[in-house]
C-alpha cells in the first residue's frame, strides 16, 4: 500500500531531510509544542497513531524506541520506571491514493516491574491503542518464547489492532538463539511480519537513516492497512 | 580515577541485593561483599555499630536502614573523601530507593530474589547519585535544588499555575536543561531531599516525550504512591506535575498545547539562559570562573561554570566543576557546618562567615550572609585581598535584582 522506495525519490528525500538532524544520521526529536517544518511544496495530511511496545524486560524496548525516534542511543540497559511515551513523525506515500501522509506516531513503553506492581499502567497503555509492537531479542530465547503468550494476553483475533514483531540485537545474529525456521513458521502461523533491528551505536554509525527506513515503513504500512480494513468493516 | 562502589545487602542474612560502581574498578568478588557484611554484623552482635573504617587505599562506610537493608559505600583511590560525604551518599541512596519503590516494600522484603529484580527500577537514579563530579549540577552535595534565574519566570509562573489547576494538583514545576525555572508554592514545600532527588531523577531518565512514573515522596508520602508526570514542551524544556490517580497521561497531554502554546517565545528565551543560568542584567567580575549560590531557607540554588558563555571545551568546564566541588567539600563539611539539610554544627561556638583557599591554578572564596551562601571559583589573577569584596558584591547583585528570585 505504501510506495516503499518513495523516500529515495527526490521528493521523499527532501521531506525526510527536513525532519532529520543536520548531519542526516538520525531523526530530529520534537517537543509537544513543536512540529516539523516541511518543505513549502509538500502538502501532507497528518495521521495520529498510538503504539504500545511490549516484551520481556531487558530485550531493548526503550532502546528500539530511542533508536527509531532519533534520541541517541545509550549503551547500558536500564529498567524503565513507569510509562514513557515518545512522539515521532514519519512521512509516507500511499500508493493507491497517490497521497502523502505525515504519520504522527506515539510509542508507549512501560517497564515490566512497574507494569506488574501498579494496576493503572496497563489500562493506560491499552486505552485507545492502534498497534502493538512485540519485541524480542535474538540472543534471549525466553523473550522469543514469551511472544505468543503476550499475543494472547494483549490481543484477540478481532480487535483490529495492527501487530508487528521486532527482533533486537540482530548484530549478534551469529549467536542467535532463534532459528530462521522458527521465524518463518511464526510469520506463517500468525501472519505477522518480523523485522530485525540492532540498536548499538557502532552498528548504526555511518548508515544514516537507512537502517530505520525498513522498520518504519513496515510499521506505517501495517497501520495504514489496518485503517483500510477498519473502514471496510464499517 | 577514583572508584566508588555502592553495595546493598539484606540485614541479618547478608544476601547481596545489588552492587553499583563508577570509575575504572573491577567487580567486587562475592567473598569481599560477604566480609564487608560480616564485620558489620559482628559488631552488631556485640552491640556496637560499625560506622566507618579506612584502609590504606579505601574508605568504607556502613549504614543500616529500618533493620531491613544495609548499604555500604566503598571509596578507593587517592582522591579526598570524608565520611560524612559517603554517609550522605548512603542516605540519598536510601531515599532514592524509597522514592521509586516505597518504604513499606523496603521494610518488609518477603522474597529476596523478586526484590533483587524489582529494585532494578532504582538503578538509573542510584547511578546518577554515584556520578558526582560528572553531574552537570551540584545538588547532590549542596542539598539544594538548582534553578535558572530568569526575568521571564513571573510570566511563566502564570502559565504553570493555570496548567497545574487543569491537572488538579498543587504540585508542578517548569524545567530548562534540568534546572527549575519556576515551581508552585507546594512544590517548594517538598523537603530538600525530595527536591534534590526529583531533579536528579530527571537527569537519570532516558529521553522521551512524556512520562507517568509512580513515585513515593520519601518525607511527605513514603508509603502512598503518587504519579509524576512529565511533558517535554520543546528540546530541553519540560513541565512536571505530581498527581493522584487522575487525570490520565493522555488526558493531560491533550491539554499541553492549549495551556502552553502562548508561552513558546518566552520558553525559547528562557532556554537560551543556559549554560550561564542567570540573566545578562546581572554583571559579575571578570575573574569569576564559576560559582555556587545557595538560599538555605528555600533549598534553592543557582550555579554556573560558564558565566560569560566563553564556549570553553567540556574538559575545562568539567575542571571548574571539579574545583568548585572540591572547595565546597573542603570548607563546608569541615569548617562551615553541615549541608543545608542539617542543623549547623554545634561544635563551633562562633560562626565562620568567610573562608578561602589559594590553589596553584585558581583561588576559591566562600561567604555566608544570613540564609545566603556563595562559593566562588576565581582565576588566579585576582588579588587575594579582593576576593571578599567581589564575593559580597556578587551576592548583593543577585539578592537585590528585583527581576529574579533566589
Model ipTM? Answer: 0.92
Measure the CA–CA gap between B185 and B16, rounded to whole angstroms: 41
Name the closest residue on chain A to residue B214, using Cα atoms: A82
At residue B1 the predicted structure's pLDDT band, cuts being 50, 70 and 90, is low
- pLDDT tens readout for residues B276-308: 999 999 999 999 999 999 999 999 999 999 998
Q: A156 versus B344: which is more confidently predicted?
A: A156
- Hey, of B21, B212, B238, B251, which one would you mutate to test binding to chain A, going by the most A CBs within 10 A of its CB? B212
Parent domain of A216: 6-233
Give B373-404 pLDDT, tens digit per residue.
999 999 999 999 999 999 999 999 999 988 88
Nearest Cα to A191, choosing from A226, A146, A142? A226
Which pLDDT value is given to residue A156?
83
Identify the pLDDT of residue B340. Answer: 40
Considering only the beta carbons, identify the residue of A31, A86, A114 that sits closest to B235.
A31
Q: How far apart are CA B98 and CA B88, in angstroms?
A: 15
Domain count, chain A: 1
- What's the pLDDT at B288? 96
Residue A143 domain-assigned?
A: yes
Residue A1 lies in a domain: no
Predicted pLDDT at A92: 93
Q: What is residue B270's predicted lDDT score, i.e. its pLDDT?
A: 96
| Residue B339 confidence class, pLDDT cut points 50, 70, 90 | very low
Here the CATH number for the domain that contains residue A29 is: 3.40.50.300
> Of B120, B211, B250, which has the smallest distance from its Cβ to A84's Cβ?
B211
How far apart are the CA of B90 and the nearest CA of chain A, in angstroms? 21
CA B315 to chain centre: 21
Alpha helices in A70-190 (DSSP H): 112-117, 121-126, 141-154, 180-190
Place of cell 529515495: A8
pLDDT in tens, A117-144: 999 999 999 999 999 999 999 999 999 9
Q: What is the pLDDT of residue B304?
A: 96
Residues 6+ apart with CB under 8 A from B156: B150, B174, B181, B182, B263, B266, B267, B270
Interface contact flag, A85 B231, Cβ < 8 Å: no
What b/e readout covers A39-75, taking b as 16+ CB neighbours within 10 angstroms? Answer: eeeeebeebebbbbbbbbbbbbbbbbbbbbbbbebbe
Q: Cα–Cα distances in Å, from B270 out to A107, B154, B187?
A: 29, 12, 20
Cell representation of residue B280: 545578562
Residues of A within an 8 Å Cβ radius of B: 29-34, 57, 62, 65-66, 71-72, 74, 78-87, 106, 109, 111, 113-114, 117-118, 120-121, 124, 127-128
Per-state percent for chain A, helix, strand, coil, to nearest 5? 40, 25, 40
**What is the C-alpha radius of gyration for chain A, rounded to an integer number of angstroms?**
17
CB–CB contact B232 A127 (8 Å): no
pLDDT at B341: 40
Give CA–CA dist A116/B261, Å, rounded: 36
Per-residue pLDDT for B83 more than 60?
Answer: yes
Domain B3-134 has CATH 3.30.450.60: yes
Please report how many Cα atoms fall inside a 13 Å half-sphere around the Cα of residue B313, on the Cβ side.
Answer: 1
What the block records as the C-alpha cell of A5 is 522506495
Identify each DSSP E strand in B155-220 by its residue range.
Answer: 171-176, 179-183, 210-217
Is B206 in contact with A62 (Cβ distance < 8 A)?
A: yes
Q: Of B314, B336, B322, whose CA–CA distance to B290 is shortest?
A: B322
Torsion on CA atoms B395, B398, B402, B406, rounded to nearest 10: -100
Cα–Cα distance between B87 and A121 in angstroms, integer?
35
Contacts of B213 in chain A (CB under 8 A): 81-83, 114
* Residue that wins the pLDDT comparison between A101 and B311: A101
Please tell me the least confidently modeled range out of A44-53, A72-81, B131-140, B293-302: A72-81
Neighboring chain B residues of A104 at a CB cutoff of 8 Å: none
CATH code of the domain made up of B151-272: 3.30.450
CA distance A47 to A107: 14
Between chain A and chain B, the number of residue pairs with CB atoms below 8 A apart is 104
Substitution target from A29, A31, A51, A74 for chain B, most B beta carbons within 10 A: A31
Question: CA of B324, closest CA in chain A: separation in Å?
Answer: 29
pLDDT value for B32: 92
Say whether B44 sits in a helix, a strand or coil.
helix
B123 and A79 within 8 Å at the Cβ level: the answer is yes
pLDDT of residue A173: 76
Q: Is residue A67, in this structure, part of any structural domain at all?
A: yes
Tell whether the model's pLDDT for residue A69 goes beyond 60. yes
Condensed to tens digits (0 to 9), the pLDDT of residues B123-157 reads: 999 999 998 888 999 999 999 999 999 999 999 99
Q: Using alpha carbons only, what angle is made at residue B196 by residues B334 and B245, rounded to the nearest 5 degrees?
A: 155
Contact A62 B124 (CB under 8 A): no
CA distance A218 to A199: 17
What kind of architecture, by CATH, is found in domain B288-400?
2-Layer Sandwich (3.30)
Q: How far apart are CA A36 and CA B57, in angstroms?
A: 55
Over the stretch B23-47, which tens digit does the pLDDT of each residue have?
888 888 999 999 999 999 999 999 9
Chain B residues whose CB is inside 8 A of the A72 CB are 207
What is the pTM for the complete model shown? Answer: 0.93
Residues of chain B with CATH 3.30.450.60: 3-134
Amino acid at each position: 500500500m505504501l510506495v516503499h522506495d518513495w523516500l529515495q525519490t527526490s521528493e521523499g528525500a527532501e521531506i525526510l531531510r527536513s525532519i532529520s538532524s543536520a548531519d542526516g544520521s538520525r531523526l530530529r526529536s520534537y517537543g509537544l509544542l513543536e512540529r516539523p517544518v516541511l518543505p513549502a511544496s509538500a502538502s501532507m495530511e497528518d495521521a495520529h497513531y498510538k503504539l504500545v511496545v511490549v516484551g520481556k524486560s531487558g530485550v531493548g524496548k526503550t532502546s528500539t524506541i530511542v533508536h527509531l525516534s532519533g534520541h541517541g542511543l545509550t549503551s547500558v540497559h536500564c529498567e524503565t520506571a513507569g510509562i514513557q511515551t515518545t512522539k515521532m513523525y514519519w512521512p509516507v506515500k500511499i500508493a493507491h491514493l497517490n497521497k502523502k501522509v505525515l504519520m504522527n506516531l506515539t510509542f508507549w513503553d512501560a517497564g515490566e516491574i512497574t507494569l506488574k506492581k501498579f494496576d493503572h499502567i496497563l489500562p493506560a497503555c491499552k486505552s485507545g491503542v492502534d498497534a502493538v509492537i512485540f519485541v524480542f531479542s535474538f540472543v534471549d530465547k525466553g523473550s522469543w518464547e514469551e511472544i505468543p503468550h503476550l499475543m494472547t494476553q494483549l490481543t484477540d483475533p478481532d480487535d483490529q489492532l495492527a501487530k508487528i514483531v521486532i527482533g533486537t540485537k540482530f548484530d549478534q545474529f551469529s549467536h542467535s538463539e532463534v532459528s530462521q525456521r522458527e521465524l518463518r513458521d511464526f510469520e506463517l502461523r500468525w501472519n505477522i511480519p518480523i523485522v530485525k533491528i540492532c540498536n548499538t551505536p557502532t552498528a548504526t554509525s555511518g548508515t544514516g537513516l537507512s537502517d530505520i527506513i525498513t522498520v518504519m515503513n513496515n510499521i506505517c504500512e501495517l497501520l495504514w492497512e489496518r485503517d483500510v480494513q477498519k473502514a471496510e468493516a464499517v | 580515577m577514583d572508584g566508588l562502589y555502592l553495595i546493598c545487602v539484606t540485614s541479618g542474612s547478608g544476601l547481596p541485593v545489588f552492587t553499583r560502581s563508577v570509575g575504572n574498578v573491577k567487580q567486587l568478588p562475592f567473598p569481599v561483599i560477604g566480609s564487608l557484611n560480616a564485620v558489620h554484623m559482628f559488631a552488631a552482635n556485640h552491640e556496637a555499630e560499625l560506622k566507618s573504617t579506612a584502609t590504606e587505599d579505601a574508605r568504607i562506610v556502613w549504614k543500616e536502614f529500618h533493620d531491613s537493608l544495609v548499604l555500604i559505600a566503598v571509596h578507593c583511590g587517592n582522591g579526598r573523601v570524608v565520611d560524612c560525604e559517603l554517609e550522605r551518599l548512603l542516605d540519598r541512596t536510601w531515599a532514592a530507593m524509597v522514592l521509586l519503590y516505597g518504604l513499606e516494600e523496603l521494610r518488609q522484603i518477603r522474597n529476596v530474589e523478586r526484590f533483587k529484580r524489582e529494585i532494578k527500577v532504582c538503578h538509573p537514579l542510584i547511578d546518577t547519585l554515584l556520578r558526582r563530579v560528572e553531574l552537570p549540577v551540584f545538588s547532590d552535595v549542596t542539598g539544594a535544588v538548582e534553578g535558572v534565574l530568569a526575568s521571564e519566570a513571573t510570566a511563566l509562573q502564570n502559565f504553570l499555575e493555570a496548567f497545574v489547576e487543569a491537572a488538579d494538583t498543587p504540585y508542578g514545576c517548569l524545567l530548562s536543561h534540568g534546572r527549575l525555572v519556576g515551581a508552585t508554592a507546594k512544590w517548594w514545600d517538598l523537603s530538600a531531599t525530595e527536591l534534590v532527588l526529583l531533579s536528579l531523577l530527571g537527569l537519570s531518565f532516558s529521553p522521551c516525550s512524556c512520562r507517568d512514573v509512580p513515585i513515593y515522596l520519601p518525607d511527605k508520602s513514603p508509603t502512598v504512591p503518587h504519579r509524576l508526570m512529565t511533558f517535554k514542551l520543546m528540546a530541553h524544556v519540560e513541565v512536571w506535575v505530581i498527581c493522584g490517580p487522575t487525570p490520565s497521561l493522555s488526558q493531560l497531554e491533550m491539554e499541553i498545547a492549549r495551556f502552553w502554546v502562548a508561552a513558546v517565545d518566552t520558553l525559547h528565551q528562557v532556554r537560551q539562559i543556559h549554560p550561564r543560568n542567570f540573566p545578562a542584567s546581572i554583571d559579575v567580575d571578570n575573574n569569576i570562573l564559576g560559582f555556587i549560590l545557595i538560599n538555605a531557607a528555600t533549598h534553592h540554588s543557582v550555579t554556573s561554570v560558564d558565566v560569560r558563555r566563553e564556549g570553553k571545551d567540556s574538559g575545562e568546564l568539567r575542571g571548574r566543576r571539579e574545583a568548585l566541588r572540591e572547595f565546597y567539600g573542603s570548607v563546608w563539611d569541615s569548617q562551615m557546618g553541615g549541608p543545608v539539610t542539617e542543623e549547623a554544627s554545634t561544635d563551633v561556638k562562633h560562626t565562620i562567615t568567610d573562608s578561602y583557599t589559594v590553589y596553584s591554578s585558581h583561588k576559591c572564596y566562600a561567604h555566608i550572609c544570613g540564609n545566603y551562601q556563595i562559593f566562588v571559583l576565581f582565576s588566579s589573577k585576582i588579588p587575594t585581598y579582593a576576593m571578599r569584596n567581589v564575593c559580597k558584591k556578587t551576592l548583593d547583585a543577585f539578592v537585590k535584582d528585583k527581576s529574579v528570585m533566589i
